[in-house]
Chain A
């Protein structure tokens, strides 16, 4: 039983770590601020979520489980609010979103 739980927990941790790494790769590959916020969302949701679920399975029925669950809930409430505030501020201060070259937009920059 503990072996099965360990396997599930390891799978969650590895998958979560993979999503965090993919999020990091996305941050580097994306062309501008607005597109970079999307891969950052990977680390916020499934990345952090799966890692926390993996840790919850490891901790078993204890106070730590409740604390990890609280971290997850607060993360899911605060991270979209922060992303929205950042994106809204960027748009209000006049940053133009990058669009695909050739798409119908007045401002086209070349792909990096």
Chain B
């Protein structure tokens, strides 16, 4: 039930922010379409903890802030390599262990790796992720396991 309420709130928020017309008719139509979408999603059985990860709760903004700092650092590193006349790249393909307990956790980890420039996840399996890195520095960063541990902490005990 919590997932349905959460879905309704996000759908309604998107409608209100995108429309900008707050008249009775349009608000009624908006509320009606939100309800129809939830009814259809319920019949398709797609409303669950994976499509709507509200159990991550307030840990998510903290993780995003940490990830943002990592992205900025990685952006500067890759930009520096691109403009360097000698093009100091040493691409490699390797695997890092993924200790997440749920599929959602592994997807968050793999997406975080890809979102960070310089590293790109190419394959995800049960307990490891295959990564393509632009340089040895990108591989060393992932090998420390900091991001792995952060995503595990984000998952919590659920």
Contact = CB atoms under 8 A, between A and B. Distances in A.
Contacts of A35: 89, 91, 134
Contacts of A70: 14, 17-18
A100 B115 contact: no
Contacts of A46: 71-72, 75
B114 A83 contact: yes
B14 A81 contact: no
B91 A80 contact: no
Interface residues of A, number: 37
Interface string A64-86: 00110010000011011101100
Contact of A38 (B14, B112, B134): B134
Interface residues of B, number: 32
Interface in B55-101: 71-72, 75, 78-79, 82-83, 87, 89-93
Contacts of B123: 88, 91
Nearest to B135: A38
Given A34-B120, A34-B132, A63 B20 contact: yes
B33 interface: no
A42 B79 contact: yes
B91 A100 contact: yes
A41 B17 contact: no
Given A26-B78, A29-B82, A66-B17, A38 B114 contact: no
A19 to B, nearest CB: 7
Nearest to B79: A22
Interface of B: 14, 17-18, 20, 71-72, 75, 78-79, 82-83, 87, 89-93, 110-112, 114-118, 120-123, 130, 132, 134
Interface of A: 19, 22-23, 25-26, 29-30, 32, 34-35, 37-39, 41-42, 44-46, 63, 66-67, 70, 76-77, 79-81, 83-84, 87-88, 91, 97-100, 103
